Amino acid sequence: MEVPHLTEQHVLAESIRSRTGFWRRQFAASVTRPQVIFDISFGVIGPILCFVFDPIVFRDGLGGAPLLSDYRNFVYLFSGLQITLLCFWLLTGPAWRVWNKLIGGMLLCGGIFCAVVGVGLAPFSFIGLFIYGIGVFGFTPFLTAIVYLRNSSRALRAEKVGAAGVAEALIPVAGMLLVAGLPLLLSMQIHLIVSRGVSEILEGDSQHATFAAHRLAPLRFFADSELDPIVNAYIATSDEKRKELLKSCYLEITGRSIERRATIFRD
């Protein structure tokens, strides 16, 4: 059976493709199905799995204190916002120029952030890779950075009718400030609320302590590492009535037993 000859157009297309570099294809304006699958896998699913199975960076899954617990709320809020923006961009694609530039700056901020996090975690990732075998998750931020930088590049280069001129250069900067500023302000506000609540539990009477614990319960996901003063007070006091109050408040906020946390502190 005779094999049909390739058309001239097909040969030309293959020739152009062969001369196009790998990275240039990854950041080209045209979107391919494998790229979308990669973006969803490492821009959405990958970061979520990293947070869920995090044993040491923001959570104390291995029994010790987390490495970056002070930055946990900001990172969670920032990452959640970035994942939402990426999903929205992948679903809708380019729109009017101002929006393209705005979301392009936002995703650019996410890409830079992921790259910096990946570099910062690299030493711990190598250690975890050889000791626990889970250090491979520490390299996910580098792949996530590629996802956000690629989609940022496409958004910034999208050609749509809209604003032009000097404003066009300021819009991405505004997007970067907005996407970083909102999680920062929100995390600071959460910190203030939790700090005040913990102070009421430690210094107030049983009624005020119980009310404060009930008020902090909706923030349990963000308040975990900031509740350690309650655990320290539980360990230090010999008053059984006081112990029961602190135990009850901790259980109300976290849904977990304070004894388990106290055991980690004593080790």
Do 168 and 241 have their domain in common?
Answer: no
pLDDT band at 246 (very low <50, low <70, confident <90, very high): very high
Claim to verify: residue 182 and residue 209 sit in the same structural domain: no
Answer whether 94's CB lies under 8 Å from 155's CB.
yes
- Same domain? For 237 and 112 the reply is no
Q: Is position 159 within any domain?
A: yes
Q: Do 51 and 183 belong to one domain? A: yes
Is there a single domain that holds both residue 56 and residue 101? yes
Instruction: Using the 3D structure, point to which of 155, 190, 225 is the last residue of a domain.
Output: 190
Q: At what angle do helices 228-236 and 166-203 cross, to 10 degrees?
A: 20
The chain-wide mean pLDDT, for the chain, equals 83
Total number of domains in the chain: 2
Q: How far apart are CA 85 and CA 104, in angstroms?
A: 10
The amino acid that residue 228 corresponds to is: D
- Would 40 be classed as within a structural domain? yes
Domain assignment of residue 178, yes or no: yes
Determine, yes or no, domain membership for 17.
Answer: no
- Structural domain contains residue 76: yes
Looking at residue 3, what DSSP letter applies?
P
Contacts of 67 (CB under 8 A, 6+ apart): 56, 57, 58, 124
pLDDT confidence of residue 5:
46
Give a yes or no: residue 41 inside a domain: yes
Structure-model confidence comparison of residues 95 and 138, the more confident one:
95
Q: Examine the pLDDT at 12 and tell me if it is beyond 60.
A: no
- CA separation (Å) from 21 to 111, 150, 227? 21, 15, 52
Listed residue (190, 108, 115) closest to 151, CA to CA: 108
Average pLDDT over residues 165-185: 89
Answer with the one of 134, 159, 190 that is the final residue of a domain. 190
Does residue 15 lie within any of the structural domains? no
Give the model confidence (pLDDT) of 111-145 as tens digits.
Answer: 999 999 989 888 877 776 666 556 566 788 999 99
Q: What is the DSSP letter of 67?
A: T
Domain that holds residue 243: 204-267
One domain, residues 186 and 210: no
